[in-house]
Every structure is written in structure tokens, then in C-alpha cells.
Amino acid sequence: MVKRPAALNMADLAERAGVSIATVSRALSGSPGVSQETRQRIKELADDLSYAVSPDAARLARGSTGRIAVVTPDVAHWFYAAMLSGIVTALHGTDLDVLLYEVKDEPQRRRFFEDLPARRQVDALILVALPISDDERRRLDLMGVTVVMAGGTLGEHPHVRIDDVAAGRQAATHLVRAGHQRIAMINSSGTWSLEYAAPSARQRGFTEALEAGGIEVHPDLVIHHQWGSHGGVKGMSELLSLPEPPTAVVTFSDEVAFGALRTLRRAGVSVPYAMSVIGIDDHHLADMFDLTTVHQPVAQQGIEAGRLAQQILEQGEVASPHITLPTHLVARGTSGPPPPGPGVRAGLPLNDHGVG
């Protein structure tokens, strides 16, 4: 049997170099306190002996773990996947490792925060659009590590986000300028028991745009259904059942819009001639659906969040810890002027010529 040679350790290298283990550690990690001549001699000896510094040992010597934990409600959904891709892109090529924690439901989220003391093996946490309670926020503060929120805000902690009020306003303003008077909103309720800030913010922007255009906000035209395409299906069905349906609809997200478009297609309602629909997000499938939407830079939010975490760990602070990225309207084929006639009467569809 061939015996595996013993790995060379730092003590062996120190003995051969005639210096202390601490000197070897400082020389190879780039820490101060070692002359340039000694540092060079130790590095050359390490190269000759094919000695590799253990990342964990080097990080321990620097008093850090070199790890960032990313906490997300989902790893498969396009929004969270795009955000994660941005974070990983930002940290690629650095000395930082990424640990991923998925908390898909309430029990998993509670367990994560209950076990936070065990998360002290990380230098920073990046939370991806994750609503947390006051008690969970206090637990985060007690950890004593950098916390960055991506896709939202968390008190005074560093964050990267969009202005959801502005996004809702941009969507509704587009329809107001097109001449619509009966404009509805299919807003979303999340799967969390905790309040998610985006729905109320986007509704506020929607309301501001209508009021600025002198248009009354009808309570029966602002409805809430669970986030996702199924919510859009139910929401549009509800709006079509009204005695006087709207001629245009703002949806909380593109996925809600996809469901709304399905309902309109099955009901024979022509888009955009009888009904205009606009989403928010610019989902990667939005172009295929020819969906008018408000673009938000999801991956870029992840990149900026990763950069923020890295800069804070390296520099101790950053000049601008709160970053808001701009959104903009992307006009496609699901929006246009209102129909010349009475619109969708009593839930009855119009054809492409506006005839019932």
C-alpha cells in the first residue's frame, strides 16, 4: 500500500525558514509586522515546497471568517434567482465565500432567526427581499455583523432597492396619459404573515398618478389577490364581473399580469383594444408576452448589494449605504388608448373593432 505523504503545515514551514509560526502567518497573509526581505524569503520557500495557505487559517488570523450568508425566500423564482446571480457576480474573484440559506415559509424563517447565534461564523448577511419582525431585527442587531437588505429596506441597515412608489406611479401615469378614466389595480398579498412593503408602496404610487390626472380612485377597482399568476387570473375575473369593468389595469407584478392576460384571452376580450394591461418588473418573459411594464434592475440590485457588503467588510463603512436604483417604463403591445365605445360592458368582451 502506498502511504499518502503528510501535508506540509505552517509549523513545518516556520521551522525550515527559521522563524516563528506567527511570522509565517503574517508573511503569507499580507499582514504588517514582517520585513519585505523576510516576507519574500518565506513566500519563495512556500512556493518551492508547494505550500498552500489554508483559507480558514488565514481568515482566522485576520479575525474574520471570509463568509457572507445570503438569505432568500426562494432560489428558483426568477426574481430571487436574478438577485442571487447579481450577488454572486459581485463577489466573484474576491476572498469571500457565499453561504446560501433558503427560507421558503414561516417555520423556516423562524428557525433561521432562532438559530442566529450559530450564524456567527459569517462576517455579513445579505437578506433578499425578506420581511422580518421587530424581534428578528433585534436578533440581527445583536449578532454584531454587517447586514445588507437587497430589494427592500431594513431600518438604518445598508440597503439596495427601487422606489416602489415611483414604479406604481409610472405604470398608472402611462395609462392616464393614454386617456383611460376607469383604471383598476390588481395588487398582491404575500405568503408571509408579516407585511411586505412593496404592495402598499406601489398602490400609493398608483393612487398618486390617478389623483394627479384628476381621476377618481374607485374602491371596487383596487383589489388584492395572492401574488403570482393565479392571483392575476382571479383578479381579472373579478374585474370583468363588475357592472362597469375598467378599460385598463395596473398589476402588482408581471406575473400577476400574465394571469390577467390569460383570463382576458379566455374571455375573448381584445388587448389592448378593449382592455389595456401593464405590469411591473420586466420579467424575462415579459417581452414574449409583449407586455407593457415598468422595468426594475433586479440583477443590478444584487450586484450593488454584494458590493456594499464587500466594501463595508474591507473599509468599515461606505459613503452611500442606501442605494435606490431607477425604474422606467417599457411600452409594448398590451397598452393603448381606451376603446371608443363603452368598453367591456357588464363583463361582455369586445372584438378587435370595439363591437360587443
Q: What is the 3-state secondary structure (H, E, C) of 118-136?
A: HHHHCCEEEEECCCCCHHH
Say if 1 falls within a structural domain. no
Kindly list the distances between the CA atom of residue 76 and the CA atoms of 42, 286, 346, in Å, as whole numbers in the listed order.
46, 18, 39
- Runs of H (alpha helix) within the chain: 10-17, 21-29, 36-48, 55-62, 78-91, 106-114, 134-143, 164-177, 197-212, 229-240, 254-267, 298-315
CA angle 10, 14, 16 (to 5 degrees): 120
pLDDT of residue 130: 86
Beta carbons of 14 and 23 less than 8 angstroms apart? yes
Q: Is residue 355 part of a domain?
A: no
Q: Which three cell numbers stand for residue 174?
A: 402611462
- Shared domain for 228 and 266, answered yes or no, is yes
In a domain, 260, yes or no: yes
| pLDDT confidence of residue 183 | 97
Q: What is the pLDDT along the chain (356 residues), one digit of tens a residue?
A: 433 345 566 777 788 888 887 787 777 766 677 788 888 888 888 777 665 555 555 454 445 678 899 999 989 899 999 999 999 999 988 888 888 989 887 788 778 877 765 555 788 999 999 888 888 888 787 777 889 999 999 888 999 999 999 999 999 999 999 999 999 999 997 666 667 789 999 999 999 999 999 999 999 999 999 888 999 999 999 999 999 999 999 999 999 999 999 999 999 999 999 999 999 999 999 999 999 999 999 999 999 999 999 999 888 888 899 999 999 999 999 999 999 876 554 344 444 433 33
- CA-closest candidate to residue 300, choices 85, 86, 149: 86
Residue 224 forms part of a structural domain: yes
Identify whether 193 is part of a domain.
Answer: yes
Q: Which residue range(s) make up the domain with 312?
A: 67-162+299-324
Residues 138 and 259 in one domain: no
Q: What is the total count of domains within the chain?
A: 3
* Gyration radius from the chain CA atoms: 27
290 lies in some domain: yes
- pTM: predicted TM-score of the whole model, two decimal places: 0.78
Both 92 and 153 in a single domain?
A: yes
- pLDDT score at 346: 37
Q: What is the pLDDT of residue 51?
A: 58
97 with 191, same domain? no
Tell me, yes or no, whether 210 and 244 share the same domain: yes
Quote the CA–CA distance of 90 and 98 in Å, as a whole number.
11
Of 331, 327, 228, nearest in space to 287 by CA: 331
| 180 and 257 housed in the same domain | yes
Domain identity same for 153 and 77: yes
Task: From 248, 134, 260, 296, select the one nearest 188 (Cα to Cα).
Answer: 260
* Inside any domain, residue 234: yes
CATH of the domain at 36: 1.10.260.40
The pLDDT assigned to 236 comes to 97
Residue 144 placed within a domain: yes
Q: Return d(Cα 255, Cα 277) in angstroms, integer.
A: 12
Can you tell me which residue has the cell 425578506?
130
Of 39, 62, 85, the last residue of a domain is 62
